[in-house]
């Protein structure tokens, strides 16, 4: 089932000061059966977008379509979408089975049928052994799985996930990422997953919708968002390290730290041009170990440049060197608007 948001506007009135445009003309589509990850910094409007799809926020303008149905004016319960929240709000006095099956009973499914279905869903999420426990007797990851089970028991065509993994520790988050991905593949549901963590978004999204200040600035596959960021903001937000941006008279030039190579420049030469290469001279300000790699900060005339270097030969703080990269690896952005050129 496709989810399509068109021209969505939403402002919150602050008690004092200017209203906040949480959504500023947002148009975005999650295709049937895909996992669309909405990613952006804190306050960019991700939760508002998700809540608007769920029907928990009313839009000032614009529409939400689920499949062929315009659900803009429908109550949350009538939209045919399930939602999982960040804090996995479970009923504390109900067992795991009770929490997962609550909606089923409410929708009139029989007791034994519900029990069977609950067991099936719980099994598929690896919590089959925990059905008699209370939420207080679960770990954070287990609670998240219960929340997921509760959402998918209805076999929803559309499932909305609001930072479901953000409260988990790094290790568990990694495992749960895989499980969310598997769950989506198995159920074939359309999923819209919100996160502020670009690494998580890159890892599980079929496509990413990158938000900035209430706008969707790019929608594309993780590979393409990384390789061809639509704006300088996306270039810095998406990727293991922010893209280096060099500003000057002309367009802003960008180069990924992974593409920068460092060369000795003990003489401190400034202008040494080789065909096909761009580069600058600088001094090593810091060297930070990152497993097999190191991230080197190079101070140059125009600011600081990051370089990710592999291998054992690492520069030392204070070294004079030359940072170079293939001219073809350079990105260009409009100096004023930040748009990719």
Q: Is 196 in the site for ligand ATP (CB under 6 A)?
A: yes
Tell whether residue 198 is a contact of ligand ATP (CB under 6 A).
Answer: no
Does position 164 bind ligand ATP by CB under 6 A? no
Q: Is 22 in the site for ligand ATP (CB under 6 A)?
A: yes
CB of 3 to ligand ATP, least distance (A): 17
Minimal distance, residue 279 CB to ligand ATP, in Å: 37
- Interface mask toward ligand ATP for 117-146; x: CB under 6 A: ------------------------------
Which residues between 44 and 63 bind ligand ATP (CB under 6 A)? Answer: 44-48
The interface region with ligand ATP, picked from 42-50, 225-233, 290-298, 308-316 by CB under 6 A, is: 42-50
3-state SS of the chain? CCEEEEEEEEEECCCCCCCEEEEEEEEEEECCCCEEEEECCCCCCHHHHHHHHHCCCCCCEEEEEECCEECCCCCHHHCCEEEECCCCCCCCCCCHHHHHHHHHHHCCCCHHHHHHHHHHHHHHCCCHHHCCCCHHHCCHHHHHHHHHHHHHCCCCCEEEEECCCCCCCHHHHHHHHHHHHHHHHHHCCEEEEEECCHHHHHHHCCEEEEEECCEEEEEECHHHHHHCCCEHHHHHHCCCCCCEEECCCCCEEEECHHHCEEEECCCCCCCCCCCCEEEEEEEEEEEEEECCEEEEEEEECCEEEEEEEECCCCCCCCCEEEEEEEHHHCEEECCCCCEEC
Binding mask 231-250 for ligand ATP (x = CB under 6 A): --------------------
Contact between 37 and ligand ATP by CB under 6 A: the answer reads no
Nearest distance, CB of residue 12 and ligand ATP, angstroms: 3
Decide if residue 253 touches ligand ATP (CB under 6 A).
no
Rule CB under 6 A: which residues touch ligand ATP?
12, 20, 22, 40, 42-48, 196
């Amino acid at each position: 089932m496709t989810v399509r948001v068109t021209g969505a506007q939403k402002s919150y009135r602050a008690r004092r000061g200017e209203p906040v445009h949480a959504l500023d003309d947002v148009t975005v589509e999650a295709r049937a059966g895909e996992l669309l990850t909405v990613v952006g910094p804190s306050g960019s409007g991700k939760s508002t977008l998700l809540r608007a799809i769920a029907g928990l926020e009313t839009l000032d303008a614009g529409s939400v379509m689920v499949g062929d149905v315009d659900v803009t004016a429908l109550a949350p319960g009538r939209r045919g979408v399930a939602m999982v929240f960040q804090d996995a709000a479970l009923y504390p006095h109900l067992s795991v089975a009770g929490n997962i099956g609550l909606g089923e009973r409410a929708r009139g499914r029989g007791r034994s049928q519900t029990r069977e279905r609950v067991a099936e869903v719980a099994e598929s999420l690896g919590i089959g052994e925990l059905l008699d426990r209370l939420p207080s007797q679960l770990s954070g990851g287990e609670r998240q799985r219960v929340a997921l089970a509760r959402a998918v028991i209805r076999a929803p065509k559309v499932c909305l996930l609001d930072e479901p993994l953000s409260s988990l520790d790094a290790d568990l988050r990694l495992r749960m990422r895989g499980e969310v991905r598997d769950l989506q593949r198995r159920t074939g549901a359309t999923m819209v997953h919100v996160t502020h963590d670009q690494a998580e978004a890159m890892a599980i999204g079929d496509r990413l919708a990158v938000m900035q200040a209430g706008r969707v600035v790019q929608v594309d596959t993780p590979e393409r968002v990384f390789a061809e960021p639509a704006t300088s903001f996306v270039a810095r937000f998406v990727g293991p390290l922010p893209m280096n941006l060099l500003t000057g008279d002309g367009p802003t030039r960008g180069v990924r730290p992974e593409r920068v190579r460092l060369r000795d420049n003990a003489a401190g030469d400034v202008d040494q041009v080789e065909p096909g290469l761009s580069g600058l001279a600088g001094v090593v300000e810091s060297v930070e170990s990152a497993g097999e790699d190191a991230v080197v900060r190079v101070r140059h005339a125009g600011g600081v440049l990051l370089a990710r270097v592999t291998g054992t030969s690492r520069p030392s703080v204070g070294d004079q060197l030359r940072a170079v990269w293939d001219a073809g690896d350079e990105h260009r952005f409009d100096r004023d608007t930040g748009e990719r050129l």
